Amino acid sequence: MSKKLKFRGTGTAIVTPFTPAGEIDYIALERLLDYQIQGGVEMIVPLGSTGENPTITAKERQEYFQFVIEFVDKRALVVAGTGTNDTRSTVANTEEAFRLGADGALVVTPYYNKPTPDGLIEHFKAAGDVGIPVIIYNVPSRTGLNMSAETTLRAAEIENIVAVKEASADLAQCMQIIRNAPKDFALLSGEDNLTVPLVVVGAKGVISVTSNVVPNEFSRMVRFALDGKFAEAKAIHYELLELMKVMFVESNPGPVKAALAMMGIISEHYRLPLVPVKPENRRKIKEVLIQLDTVMMEELEEKED
């Protein structure tokens, strides 16, 4: 199999647990990583936007990457979030991830600068020149810039640019990329609730927020879809749909951190400017978790009967 196609299946964009004092909570992080690996996800993605990466210092980033890579210990691929809106910093972060042994790097389109397509290409080329496989990341809702299918396809020709995480929610744009990309270039969904539809038309997986909460169910859904077992994938998709929706009832990672805290995996702490979710949304999250747990328990009981 082509080296480029190893980024396939479910990647969890893991949250960054903090202590009440605001330090990274590595004990909680161990619990979360074990939960993901035992749940069968194929990729761990530290310090994406779900990981509150803008609030992480350079020293913390190195320690965090090293901790995750060593703890995961090849039980899943580690794709380090190294992108910033400064190419030099992005390259330095990517070099650090490569040196520490990450399997890949996730590089977002630069935010705030609003580069032209040619600027995007040069930015991604600089990251690709480091030598580590790079997944580029299009997320217009956070960056204020939608990278067109044409630009993504240009980037797909760059050495070491191996995939795109597409969070534009534009199915036509995604299908244009899938149809015209090199055969060893993967599109990964960046929208949890569009994962199954995108896999049906040729996507190779997802980098997900919701899989923090339900790694087993989410990764099973994706594997069913990749194996062409669409009825099974659709069934899980609809079981998880309300959870996927409520995970974005406020800015990510607020809802997913609230859910993980309710489950006892982490404690719910953030770094400003993020704050805890509103009480009414917390109730919605709890209701969905209770309903989902009920559904899963009923299915388990049916299988045992």
Query: For residues 47 and 100, what is the distance between their CA atoms, to the nearest angstrom?
Result: 15
Question: Could you give the CA distance from residue 283 to residue 226 in angstroms, rounded to a whole number?
Answer: 34
Q: Round to whole Å and give the CA distance between 124 and 117.
A: 11
- Rounded to whole angstroms, how far apart are CA atoms 280 and 290? 16
Q: Which of 4, 6, 165, 257 is catalytic?
A: 165
Q: Render each residue's pLDDT in the chain as its tens digit; 305 residues.
A: 344 568 999 999 999 999 999 999 999 999 999 999 999 999 999 999 999 999 999 999 999 999 999 999 999 999 999 999 999 999 999 999 999 999 999 999 999 999 999 999 999 999 999 999 999 999 999 999 999 999 999 999 999 999 999 999 999 999 999 999 999 999 999 999 999 999 999 999 999 999 999 999 999 999 999 999 999 999 999 999 999 999 999 999 999 999 999 999 999 999 999 999 999 999 999 999 999 986 555 554 565 55
DSSP assignment string, 245-291? HHTTSSSTTHHHHHHHHHTTSS-----TT--PPPHHHHHHHHHHHHH
pLDDT of residue 201: 98
Torsion, CA 80, CA 262, CA 30, CA 188, rounded to 10: -30
Cβ atoms of residues 160 and 131 within 8 Å? yes
Query: DSSP labels for 58-116?
Result: HHHHHHHHHHHHHHHTTSSEEEEE---SSHHHHHHHHHHHHHHT-SEEEEEPPSSS---
pLDDT score at 301: 57
Question: Catalytic residue at 165?
Answer: yes
Please answer whether residues 186 and 204 qualify as being in contact, where contact means their C-beta atoms are separated by less than 8 angstroms.
yes
Q: Which residue bears the tokens 């099974």?
A: 232
Q: Are 144 and 157 in contact (CB under 8 A)?
A: no
Q: Are 12 and 36 in contact (CB under 8 A)?
A: yes
pTM to 2 decimal places? 0.94
- Please tell me which residue in 137, 204, 257, 284 is annotated as part of the active site: 137
CATH code 1.10.3720.10 for 3-228: no
